[in-house]
Amino acid sequence: MKYYWIIIVICNISWLGIILNAVAGDEPQKKVLVTEHLPPLPELLESVGLSKYYDIFVNKGIDETQYVMKMKDNDMRVMGMKKDEMDVLKGKIEELKIEKVVLPPPKVDILMKLRDQQEYGRLYVDRSVQSFEYLPAFFGAPMPLEPGRLIVADPWDSCSPQSSLVDIAGAFLLVGRGNCSFLEKVNNISIGVVPRAMIVVSNNETIIRPASVHAVGVPEVQALVETGIVIPENLSVVMVKGSAMLPILKGLEVEGLKGRLVPLQCSAGKSYCPPVLEEEKKLIPQIDAGYLRLEPSKEVVEFMTSTFGGVLPSGPMEAMFASPVDGCSELENASMMPGKIAVLMRGGGCGFGEKTERVQNASARAAIIIDSTDAALQKIAATPEITKRLFIPAMLVTSIGGAALQKQANDDSKIMLTINAEQEIAFRWTELAVLEWPSEPNTQAMFYYSLLQKNKASKEREAWISKKYAEHSKKLTGQNLNEEL
């Protein structure tokens, strides 16, 4: 019995080794016989004194020496050979035997191949409230996996060689469309050091896939040969809309930024285009929400961002209330606004975009808009025409958050804060915005307490949920439950 278990253990160890080798990618080497040096069959047999077997070999279908090299003992016995003759032939076979290792073909990463085939993507920018559509060029390298420093070309249109004062090595170079060809731009930015990507900014909201020529029907390879321009091996080329320029450039005026070019997989009938790679699915395309930490009170105020504008300021910032606070007319304190975050109230007869543009014109870095409704926080937008002109972001906060800002201003005469991104806040508020309360009182109570548990990290959300519960309960029972809450 013990021998039986020993055999099982040995077999399991053997299989374990095979499995581990497979996981580690250590596949057994494949060897093939080298045949170029082998003598003809008659010559081989004559060299070992076995010419008498030539006709027998041929009749059995072994008419070349390479087949003899693969013969085993049983094969030789079938030929009628004696043991001493077999030993002589086997010795000759070993003498002539040369094998070479055949390298396996390189493994194809199917997902990477699929990623490289995508014809649409988005540029993710550090701390930006929006990402930017791009179309890849018909030429150039696939999109890099790593982020790159965003650098502005000098000259902007790259219709002449780059200034040596700008360090573009390995960077993502922002280039204006200008009046020269895409290949001329590539040639001008590739003299000496080479950027990792060239991001061409369109003159308008129309984007195309950059091509090497304007003529229709001319193959890319032929066009490259005719121009004599060599595309750097690792240079990726894309085009973004003109509206991407202001938010990114204004952000770069204040701090260094990095970007990512992420290919997206789109299909007909689908509104959501996900990245191909799992690691890129985990990336945050843009900042949708977060919290303000007020100083020195450390109080937290949650916010949702705008769909317009660019980069959220980093580091400690001073905020101040606009005057008038609704931002619907010219600011009386515009001269005090440069470099600060403007605090405004919703309403007053103008939209989010108009408010933000007014404080932007006063050189504010961002806008905080206090919601005057009791709706759940959501992303805020502006009209398409105003959106094109906006490059600072806006943040919507609740009336509770607005009260905290006002208290800070009253207590310390100014508001100091930091802006912190946290996408989970967007998920929670979006969930609350589409809530459907149960119609049965007991079920509604359980639903209410489960929501409180899920949102216990936020005093603002807890207060909002409690208020909504009181409203819905009153509709069902005709009683005011505010005292119970």
- Give 263's strand partners: 121
Cα distances (Å, whole numbers) of residue 155 to 165, 180, 322? 11, 12, 38
User: Which pLDDT score, from 0 to 100, does residue 231 have?
Assistant: 85
- Give 197's strand partners: 172, 236
| Backbone phi, psi, residue 301, to 5° | -125, 120
Cα distances (Å, whole numbers) of residue 12 to 1, 6, 15, 20? 17, 10, 5, 12
Is residue 429 a contact partner of residue 292, using CB atoms and an 8 Å limit? no
Q: Distance (Å, rounded) from C-alpha 190 to C-alpha 238?
A: 16
Of residues 8 and 415, more confidence is placed in: 415
Determine if the peptide bond prior to 247 is cis (ω within 30°).
no
Cα distances (Å, whole numbers) of residue 210 to 115, 157, 304, 393? 19, 15, 35, 30
User: What would the mean pLDDT of 417-433 be, rounded to a whole number?
Assistant: 96
Q: Quick one: pLDDT band at residue 412, thresholds 50, 70, 90?
A: confident
Is residue 264 a contact partner of residue 123, using CB atoms and an 8 Å limit? no
Closest CA to 177 of 196, 150, 204, 151: 204
Q: Which residues of 345-373 are buried (b: 16+ CB within 10 A; e: fewer)?
A: bbebebbbbebbbbbbebebbbbbbbbee
Q: Distance (Å, rounded) from C-alpha 247 to C-alpha 128?
A: 8
With a pLDDT cut of 70, the percent of the chain lying above it is 88
Residue 7 pLDDT > 50, yes or no? no
Q: Distance (Å, rounded) from C-alpha 170 to C-alpha 338?
A: 34
Of residues 180 and 212, more confidence is placed in: 180
User: Which pLDDT score, from 0 to 100, does residue 10 have?
Assistant: 41
| Backbone phi, psi, residue 370, to 5° | -85, 125
pLDDT tens, position by position, 334-371: 999 999 999 999 999 999 999 999 999 999 999 999 99
pLDDT tens, position by position, 39-97: 999 998 999 899 988 988 888 888 898 888 888 888 888 888 988 988 888 898 888 88
Cα distances (Å, whole numbers) of residue 412 to 291, 317, 333, 408, 416? 20, 14, 19, 6, 9
Is residue 242 a contact partner of residue 203, using CB atoms and an 8 Å limit? yes
Residue 220 pLDDT > 80, yes or no? no
Q: Distance (Å, rounded) from C-alpha 438 to C-alpha 100?
A: 74
Q: Quick one: pLDDT band at residue 478, thresholds 50, 70, 90?
A: low
With a CB cutoff of 8 Å and minimum separation 6, the contacts of 94 are: none
Q: Distance (Å, rounded) from C-alpha 56 to C-alpha 63?
A: 10
Rg over CA atoms, the chain: 36
Mean pLDDT of the chain: 87
User: What would the mean pLDDT of 132-151 be, rounded to a whole number?
Assistant: 96
User: What would the mean pLDDT of 251-278 be, rounded to a whole number?
Assistant: 90
Of residues 309 and 20, more confidence is placed in: 309
User: What would the mean pLDDT of 205-231 be, rounded to a whole number?
Assistant: 65
Q: Distance (Å, rounded) from C-alpha 402 to C-alpha 128?
A: 23
